[in-house]
Amino acid sequence: MSGNKTLHKASKAKNDDFYTQISDIERETKHYKQHFKNKIIFCNCDDPEYSNFWRHFHIAFCVFGLKKLVSTHFVYKDLFKAGDTYKMEYVGKDSISDGNFMTGIKTPLKENGDFRSNECIDILKEADVVVTNPPFSLFREYVAQLIEYKKKFLIIGSKNAVSYKEIFKLIKDNKIWLGHGFANGNAYFKVANPRDYASGVYDEKSGLVKFRNISWFTNLDHKGRHEEILLWRKYEAEKYPKYDNYDAIEVGKVADIPMDYDGIMGVPITFLDQYNPEQFEILGCAASAGYNKDIVGIEKISSFKDARPLIKGKNTYVRIFIRRKDKFEK
């Protein structure tokens, strides 16, 4: 089936279908070269006919020194016919890629290529690192499966997922973190139905749709997360108001984190792009989703019903509560 035909078919069923550019994949994977050597890479939401994940690792197979590249793809159950899905495996060649991205061993799948199907789980068990852009609507389940099978991964997801309680807990416990990210924080994807997007979001010239709130999520270590966030602001009580309902100060921008404050601070989600676990500890997260003691992580002043971080009664959006961990001069 041609790429466009598959794209169209899939798009009829769900809105999870947007396709990652190879330049964005290259920009990220180069930070993890040491984690890929001699490893089996599994792209489990990727049709080799048009996935740039498959294409990228096929081209860079020797550069990364991979052991094997495996890809499976999905067809919605109501559209699925036997023979529509297959597993594709590539074990490389001695030399650089010959440019034929369909080189590999093709084995039909019995089921529809769902990452949760038994045959895809069997492939997952054998794999070392999963790299893909999975369906955003199944992100929680997708990550839970990777954690259950103790897999290393590098995947794309919406930054909003940070405040899902299951995902936040993994971030707080330093079991997963954000990767390097997209150029200027903007991800551009190819979509099946550009007409569904407003002009300004869809660029007719490139045929791409712009998403602002997208990140890489990973449990592969990278240099960036050990770089110190440089702090130069001095704490002044009047510039950093306390929340009405939490014993913590509001820091509206990461650049404004004071260098000399050892109490609890509320920072925006963008903090996670620069988070260094040697410099800060994450205590919790307060979102609009209500009070969940485990997630909020710090005591709420009990006379307040509202769990959102409030300043003079006004909501300040999602805040992550952090505290300095390293030694510093006050």
Ligand X SMILES: C[S@@+](CC[C@H](N)C(=O)[O-])C[C@H]1O[C@@H](n2cnc3c(N)ncnc32)[C@H](O)[C@@H]1O
> Could you list the residues that contact ligand X (CB under 6 A)?
10, 16-20, 45-46, 51-53, 74, 113-115, 132-135, 138
Question: Using CB atoms within 10 A of its CB, is residue 32 exposed (0-12), middle (13-18) or buried (19+)?
Answer: buried
Task: Write down the least CB distance from residue 9 to ligand X, Å.
Answer: 9
Residues in Cβ contact with 147 at an 8 Å cutoff, skipping those fewer than 6 apart:
170, 175
Residues in Cβ contact with 278 at an 8 Å cutoff, skipping those fewer than 6 apart:
226, 325, 326
Give the residue ranges of DSSP H helices in the chain.
3-13, 22-29, 33-36, 52-59, 61-64, 118-126, 139-148, 165-172, 293-296
Nearest Cα residue to 131 out of 52, 189, 23, 53: 53
Please say which residue, 131 or 248, places its beta carbon nearer to ligand X.
131
Q: How far apart are alpha carbons 44 and 42 in whole angstroms?
A: 6
Q: What is the CA radius of gyration of the chain?
A: 22
Please say which residue, 52 or 215, places its beta carbon nearer to ligand X.
52
Residues forming beta bridges with residue 245, ordered by sequence position? none
Task: Write down the least CB distance from residue 225 to ligand X, Å.
Answer: 23
Please say which residue, 140 or 242, places its beta carbon nearer to ligand X.
140
Please say which residue, 45 or 143, places its beta carbon nearer to ligand X.
45
Please say which residue, 16 or 84, places its beta carbon nearer to ligand X.
16
Please say which residue, 110 or 253, places its beta carbon nearer to ligand X.
110
Task: Write down the least CB distance from residue 37 to ligand X, Å.
Answer: 23
Task: Write down the least CB distance from residue 230 to ligand X, Å.
Answer: 34
Q: What is the greatest pairwise CA distance in the chain?
A: 68
Amino acid at 101: F
- Cβ pair 280, 230 in contact under 8 A: no
Task: Write down the least CB distance from residue 17 to ligand X, Å.
Answer: 5
Q: How far apart are alpha carbons 111 and 6 in whole angstroms?
A: 17
Task: Write down the least CB distance from residue 79 to ligand X, Å.
Answer: 10
Task: Write down the least CB distance from residue 44 to ligand X, Å.
Answer: 6
Please say which residue, 61 or 74, places its beta carbon nearer to ligand X.
74
